[in-house]
Amino acid sequence: MAIKSNRFEQDFAKNRYYGATGLTTIPAFFANYVNFSGRSRRSEYWYITLWTFILYILFFTGLFTALTGTAYTLSTNSVEDIWSGIWVGAGFMIIILIIFGLAVLLPSLALIIRRYRDAGIPWWVLLIQYAIVLFANMIWGYSSNQSALIGLVSGILTFVITLLPSRTPQQ
């Protein structure tokens, strides 16, 4: 898999990885970690979404294994040994999960802003969505039905916008 765009499209998009697919999206994701002014095609956005989803599945599988598997392997030891083994494994997986989440936070925000721009939607629409969700959480609390509904609507809106086709220039 490679980059499926020509030089004209890359220059217009202000993204030399414009049109990246497959494994090419991983270096594109980290190379454009502060590129908030360019554009990104659907393939770049959705492949990174797929790769991060797979990594999160692996992390949570490791966390689940650390929480449950340790108890079975240490069943002959004392209760204190079992709990210490569980928390060492779970703590290690949680630290890895936090580091990964922080490492992809800024590149993910840049990618979604580029995807909005490529779909023809201004970046400030995403900012308004986040502000509304934050405001709803401050008013009703994080566990209220109203906040959950507003967050769901915002998520569906983001999903629909990321599915919109690219608006590329005519040559």
Whole-number Å distance between alpha carbons of 38 and 144: 37
Q: Could you tell me the pTM of the whole model?
A: 0.80
* Per-residue confidence (pLDDT) for residue 133, from 0 to 100: 94
* Per-residue confidence (pLDDT) for residue 23, from 0 to 100: 84
Contact yes or no for 123/113 (Cβ under 8 A): yes
Torsion of CA 105, 111, 116, 117, to 10 degrees: 130
* Per-residue confidence (pLDDT) for residue 169, from 0 to 100: 57
- Going from N- to C-terminal start, the domains of the chain cover 7-54+106-163
* Per-residue confidence (pLDDT) for residue 171, from 0 to 100: 43
Q: Which residue has the higher pLDDT, 116 or 10?
A: 116
Contact yes or no for 130/81 (Cβ under 8 A): no
Q: Which residue has the higher pLDDT, 70 or 61?
A: 61
